[in-house]
Amino acid sequence: MILSIPGVLSPDDAHAMRERLDVSDAWVDGRATAGYQGAPVKRNQQIAESSAIAHELGDMIVGSLERHPLFISAVLPNRVYPPLFNRYEDGMHFGSHVDGAIRIVPGHGARVRTDVSITVFLTPPEDYDGGELVIEDTYGVQEVKLPAGHAIVYPATSLHEVRPVTRGTRVASFFWAQSLVRDDTQRSLLFDMDNAIQRLNAQNADDAARRTLVGCYHNLLRLWSET
């Protein structure tokens, strides 16, 4: 499932975050965190994971997502890898790759299985050319370029790339979540069921039917979840 999550950050908050990142001295070569597959095709810059600004801004993003019902419904997060931040300028890109299956949180040793990849766009799309996030899934190729403050979530198993930036600068946050439900098809079914329940609640539909559906949702979540 590929899903846009609007309003993770307000435009003003995204702008303020980008201003702080622009003047930071913590930028390093993006290949510092790339695995053997990604390093040969990765050409960008990245805020050092250990930097204070990465921790502070990352906590802000995670806090916002924890309060976003659409993100919770779609991802069913169990663990979230601390957000990272990248920058693409003229000619920079990240070639086609699949994200590594396991990430180890620096300084903690905690392992996060990367079920879901997340990108939060921080630069308005009109400020740069190119830089589309291109995701291949079972329905074909999807190009993603969202407003500042919006996020995209998609299966980390997907082949994806960031096309070269040809004008301006693209700044974003990227990270991964380990879901309570490992399988993407099962997560998608639960997401659809949750949305249907919310629509029925808004319409004040038959109470007994709604209780049955809610029971089915939680029993499936109980059956499929990993804690």
Backbone angles phi, psi at 16, to 5 degrees: -65, -40
* CATH value of 184-224 in 3.40.50.720, 4.10.860.20, 3.40.190.10, 2.70.170.10: 4.10.860.20
pLDDT (tens digit per residue) in 157-202: 999 999 999 999 999 999 999 999 999 999 999 999 999 999 999 9
* CATH value of 3-179 in 2.60.120.620, 3.40.50.1000, 3.40.50.720, 1.10.10.60: 2.60.120.620
- Compute the distance between CA of residue 138 and CA of residue 102 in angstroms, rounded to an integer: 23
Strand 159-162 to strand 111-113: parallel, antiparallel, or no bridges (unpaired)?
A: unpaired
Average pLDDT, the chain: 95
Could you please report the per-residue DSSP string of 84-138?
Answer: EEEEE-TT-EEEEE---SEEEPTTT--EEE--EEEEEE-S-GGG-EE--EEEEET
- Domain chopping of the chain, boundaries: 3-179, 184-224
Q: Confidence class of residue 34 from pLDDT cuts 50, 70 and 90?
A: low
